[in-house]
Every structure is written in C-alpha cells, then in structure tokens.
A and B are shown apart, each in its own frame.
Chain A
Amino acid sequence: MAEPLLEVKDLTVHFPTEDGLVKAVDGISFSLAPGETLGVVGESGSGKSVSFLTVMGLIHSDQAVIEGEVIFQGQDLLKLPAEEMRNIRGARISMIFQDPMTSLHPYYKVGTQISEAVRTHQKVSKKEAHDQAVEMLRKVGIPRPDERAKQYPHEFSGGMRQRAMIAMALSLNPDLLIADEPTTALDVTVQAQILDLIDRLKQEFNAAVVIITHDLGVVAEHCDAIQVMYAGKAVEFGGRRDIYYGSHHPYTWGLLRSIARLDEDSKERLHPIKGLPPSLINVPPGCAFNPRCPYVMDICRTETPALLPSDGHHASACHLSLADKERILKEEVMARS
C-alpha cells in the first residue's frame, strides 16, 4: 500500500467533567491512503465526530486529555504549535459540517466568506480571491455564481448552502476533506446531488475523503473502507464488501438488521438492537457492547476484545470465534435478504 496520508494511532480523547471522565474516544487507530474514501459509522455519542475534530485540531488540550498520534503527511498534528496547525487547517485538511446554516456566517456574503478562506492562506489580492471564490461556486454546480457570490446565506436553500460550504472547503485544494454528516439535514434528492459532487470533486482534486455518518446506505454507495464505532472505540474496520457481506461484529449485524430497506419486498418486522447506547462516563467493563449483545459470553463482561484482523485489513473486536461469527453471519444476518 502507498504511504498513508493520515495515520491515527491509539488516539484517546477524554473530557474531564463534573460528573466524571467522559471517554469520548478511547483508543482508535486507522490509516487512510491518498484518494481513498473512508466511511465512519456509528450512533450519536460513539465518538465519531470528536475523533475527527481532534484530527482537525479543533479540540484543545485545555478542554480534554488527548493522547496518541495523528500523523498527517509525516507530521504529528497533535505536537504541532497552534500557529502551524492553523496553516494546515483549511488549506490541507478541511471540514464540512452537518448544518450548513450554522456553519456559514449570516452577516457576510457567501463570496466574501469563501474569499476570506483563500486570503487567510494565500497572498492574493481581494479581486483574485473573489474570482477564485466565484470559480469554486461554479465548480460545485451553483448556477449564476457571480450573482450568487454577492448573496447572503439566508438567500440560499439548504442544498445550495451545503454546496457553498463544499466550495469553501475545497477552495484551497486540500489533501483531506472531512465531511461530518454532510447530508443529514438534506432531502434525499439533494443528498444524492451532494454526494455525487463530493465523489466528482474528489477525483478532480485527488483528495482523500472521510464521511462521518449514521446512514449505512450513504456508506455503501460512496466509501471504500468503513470503520464502525461504538462507545468511543472502533469495533470493526474493513473494506465495503467486508462490512456489508462479511461483517464479524454483533453491533454491525445489529445495525444492518435494524434498518428498514427499500429493496426488500416483505413486510418483515425490523430487528432493533435492544437497550440503549451506554453513557460514556460509565462504559460497561469488558466489551462495551456486552449488555446489548445477543451473543454475549462470560468473557465479554470482563475482558475488552482487541481489534484483531481476520483477513487482510478486515478487523473486528469481538470474542466470538471465527467459526461462530461465520455461522451467525450466514444463518441469521445474511438470511434476511
């Protein structure tokens, strides 16, 4: 494999609070190659956003106890001084957020906001930065970009705002784009447009993309590799086919079985995962998923399973034997469709 663009090693992010230590991210490791799309799936509170906010350097050591390494193009971002991190953020790594209304400034024109990002990192005149902003708006498929650049965010629809956010994020040609629930607030038709746009721009700019989402459908259509997170840990990591057709973790099975699917003919009952995600202050001992797991064994309550590879780079953190996993997968999980 080529030199990874981003390599995260044993990252932990713990927030001290009055109620106790919140273990938002508790030891995750993964790497991302240039041009690859990684999907990060998990429910709210699984640590998926916090881990990438940390990668972006948006969570500081005065807010949280951060340990581990985040190696981006050979540099450990966690050890960089704030000044240097600022040069990387926005220019080489950029991020788009779930809610495009709250991430654009309501008082400034859209074009101004994009050209500000350009001028922060490049020595160009206002005119040139503005032209660049208009060009980016055109690239993300906004009609009449020169007029649109002079408008305020409230004059844009939700999908248009998200396009403007993407234009801003890509205006400096970053090597890594982190998209945190980029389409959750949008309608399906607009979601499809935005995801296609991200795919197309990824090719054009040759960037690596991380899509953080709770939607297993989005991941199935747009990601090469997938990381499934639960209670601050990665419970499974693998290629797209590994996760959808050969998953080895009861939580992933639970997710796959609990969603209603359009392509299914029957009105079969859904199979929810019983119980609730745990509090991150009081994570169950052993495997964090054990109170909700239908296949729980004694060892699960005492020993935390490690994320172990089974074949290639497909890895899962579960005490079940490989034979049991294969059997359950075949008889119960895949039997559904």
Chain B
Amino acid sequence: MSLDVSQSVAPTTEVGRVPLIKLEGVRKFFPVTQGILFQHKIGNVHAVDGVDLEVYPGETVGLVGETGCGKSTLARVIMRLYDATEGRISFDGRDITHLKGRELREQRRNMQMIFQDPFASLNPRKTVGSIIGEPFKLHKMVAKDRIKPEVQQLMELVGLSPEHYNRFPHEFSGGQRQRIGVARALALRPKLIVCDEPVSALDVSIQAQILNLLEDLQAEFNLTYLFIAHDLAVVKHVSDRVAVMYLGKIVEMAEGATLYKTPKHPYTGALLSAVPIADPDLAAAKKRIILEGDVPSPIDPPSGCRFHPRCPSAQLPRCKDEEPLLLPQHPGQVAACHFPLEDRADILPIGS
C-alpha cells in the first residue's frame, strides 16, 4: 500500500498546499488476550489498518462507515489519545506521532474534539463556566481574572446565554449541552476540530441548529473539521470531501457530490442505497443494493478485499486473493475495488 495515491485524493485546488493533517500508513491494533492470571495475546483487533489521509486547512472531511469500521479509533489516533501502532501522523507539516509530555500538551491546543453524547462528556459536578474555562486554566493562556469574560464571550458565540455561567449541565437540554461542548472545543482557538458523531444524539429539529452553528464557526475562525458520523445525509451536507471506511480501511474517497452521484465502491453504493429518503416518490424510485449479513470480525478480517464476502459484485478468486488498491476513478475520486460500479445515477435519484 505504499503506492502514492495522495495526489489523486487531494482536491484539485489543493495540490501543493501543506495539509493540516497527513496520515501515512496509520495502523492501530488492540491486543486480544486470553487467560486471567497469565494473560497471553491470541490476536489483534485490526481497528485501523493502513490509512492514508490528508485534510487541508479550512476544509471539512467527512468519515462514514458502519459501527466497528474504525472511524472513531482513527479520530482518537489523530488526537493522539491512542498511540498509533504503525505509521506517521503529521500536523501542519510536523510529525506528531511520538510527541510526549509538554510538547504533546502544546500540540493539543491546536486540535480539539466534540463528542457524541453531550450527557456523558460534561462533568455533572462542574458549572458550565468552569467546564468551558478549563482549557484556559490547563494551558494558562488567559490571565485568571480574564477567564470569566472570555468564557462568557464564548458562550454568546455558540448561542448560550452568558447569564447561565454558573449553571450545571443537567439544567440544559441536549442541544444546549452540545453547544457547551462546542464552546469548550473552541476555547483555545484550535485549527482542527474532530467532531465524533456530534448530532446523532440530538432531535432532528435541534440537529440542524448545531450543524448551522458549526458551519458559521468554521467560516468565522477558518476551522478545519474532521466530521465523523454514520448519518450519510448529514455527512454529505457538511463535508467537502467524504471518506468511506470499511473494516479499518478507507475504501473510497471523493468530493461529496461526486461520491453521492457516482459511487465506485460497491460498499459505498450499498450504504447510499440503504439510507431512507424523506420523499416517498424518490424513495420508491431508488435502486436498492441489499447487503447480506454483518460486518465481519476485525480480529480476523477476510483476505483480499475485505468486503468480498458481502459484496454483490465480487468475482472470485480475484477479490478473495488480491487486495485492491485505492486507485483514481473520476477526478478527485479514489476507490479500492477490482470491479468498480459503473456510473449509474439511478442508485440515488437526485431531486431536481
């Protein structure tokens, strides 16, 4: 997998620019052990298995895939919350794979995370003011007496009332709590924000509020987002480019509109066709690719193309024996498939 595909993945306008995040052959394995007293390793969970990815300043890259495909693990590896087993992570041209101690802490100013569950990611015993102000204290970026006005300014920025400075998280609704999480992530003016399923715990009418807020903040502070979600419609809406993951690997990547119009990997096609469309006529016209079964175990992933046991267009023995590489398809689109889908617009009827 050392083939140089990075140029073809990059959006055409970005060639030559330094990516904010660059991943090269990143792997993350978790050991599986057996025995209680004398533990011995019996295998590895191949959570992330060789990912190359570039994220450019100011863009939003979406990451989609089913549960267990490794998208959250990848996010945590980028955040350096997990150490990569193999590979290299660069931030703004600088290798951060093995940063430690103070250097790592300083690096973390530049990248923050927003989590899925606004009920679990806020300390219930702290006031909103101290939750949002915590990064200032940790990084000693702001004088003590300036913290409160700074926090209140942040609260206003994300649409919370600054008078609620002394309230506790339980006094807020789900959507408001997610705003608290956004304010906390924004406190240190990071360059990159990793959003791990930021709206999936929220009601539909509130989801749109948070998505619009994230869009506004991106425009205002020139933020770069890595946006992880399993809701393909949401990912399409927010992302410039979308990467599809399956069992620890990126199987397809393209600009949002291209990916949705001409998916090349059968897995992408199946994912897209499974999304229910809130329009009965279009839904009826949709072509369905039904996937059988579940995602195989990442402890012992299938040989060759990992998708071949579930793939409707798999041709044996090639798909079983030979691992497909991420190869250019349409401009700005790469897919890892021996028998890519033809350009059929009828998988997804596009509303006019």
Interface residues of A (CB under 8 A from B): 43-44, 143, 157-160, 187-193, 195-196, 214-221, 240-241, 244-245, 254-256, 258-265, 267, 269-274, 276-277, 337
Contacts and interface: CB of A to CB of B under 8 A. Distances in A.
Interface string B259-274: 0100000000011111
Contact of B205 (A195, A240, A265, A273): A273
B287 interface: no
A190 B295 CA distance: 10
Best-buried of A189, A254, A261 by chain B (most CB within 10 Å): A189
A271 B208 contact: yes
A272 B233 contact: no
B215 interface: yes
Query: Chain B binding site: helix, strand, loop or mixed by DSSP?
Result: helix
Given A217-B278, A267-B237, A270-B211, A259 B204 contact: yes
B279 A244 contact: yes
B230 A220 contact: no
A44 B203 CA distance: 7
A262 B212 contact: no
B166 interface: no
Contact of B233 (A158, A255, A261, A265): A261
Interface string B38-72: 00000000000000000000000000001100000
Nearest to A268: B237
B205 A263 contact: no
7 contacts: A189-B291, A192-B276, A217-B276, A258-B205, A260-B207, A260-B208, A262-B275
Q: Across chains A and B, which 4 residue pairs bring their CB atoms closest together, nearest first?
A: A217-B276, A272-B208, A260-B237, A270-B208
Given A43-B206, A258-B208, 4 more contacts: A191-B276, A220-B277, A221-B276, A254-B205
B173 interface: yes
A220 B211 CA distance: 23
Interface in B315-341: none
A193 B205 CA distance: 27
Contacts of A254: 205
B318 to A, nearest CB: 24
Given A258-B205, A260-B211, A190 B351 contact: no
Contacts of B209: 272, 274
B349 interface: yes
B203 A160 contact: no
- B207, B232, B348 pick with most chain A CB within 10 angstroms: B207
B278 A269 contact: no
B280 interface: yes
B235 to A, nearest CB: 9
B172 to A, nearest CB: 10
A259 B322 CA distance: 41
B212 A272 contact: yes
Contact of B206 (A220, A262, A276): A276
B211 A244 contact: no
Contact of A240 (B176, B238, B280): B280
B129 to A, nearest CB: 21
A102 B278 CA distance: 29
A217 B273 CA distance: 12
B350 interface: yes
Contacts of A244: 278-280
B290 A337 contact: no
B145 interface: no
B66 A189 contact: yes
Contact of A189 (B270, B282, B352): B270
Contact of A190 (B237, B275, B294): B294
Given A192-B290, A262-B232, A262-B260, A272 B205 contact: yes
A270 B351 contact: no
Contacts of A195: 276
B283 interface: yes
A295 B350 CA distance: 30
Nearest to A279: B173
A128 B175 CA distance: 51
A220 B290 contact: no
Nearest to B238: A260
A135 to B, nearest CB: 21
A267 B278 CA distance: 17
A269 B209 CA distance: 10
B288 interface: yes
B241 interface: no
A277 B209 CA distance: 13
A143 B175 CA distance: 41
B257 interface: yes
Contact of A193 (B211, B238, B290): B290
B250 to A, nearest CB: 18
A165 to B, nearest CB: 16
Contacts of B314: none
B160 interface: no
B236 interface: yes
Contacts of A187: 66-67, 230
A157 B67 CA distance: 11
Nearest to A243: B280
A124 B109 CA distance: 66
Contacts of A43: 203-206
A216 B204 contact: yes
Contacts of B274: 188-189, 191-192
A160 B275 contact: no
B204 A220 contact: no
Nearest to A276: B173
Interface string B160-190: 0000000000000101100000000000000
Contact of A262 (B215, B294, B348): B348
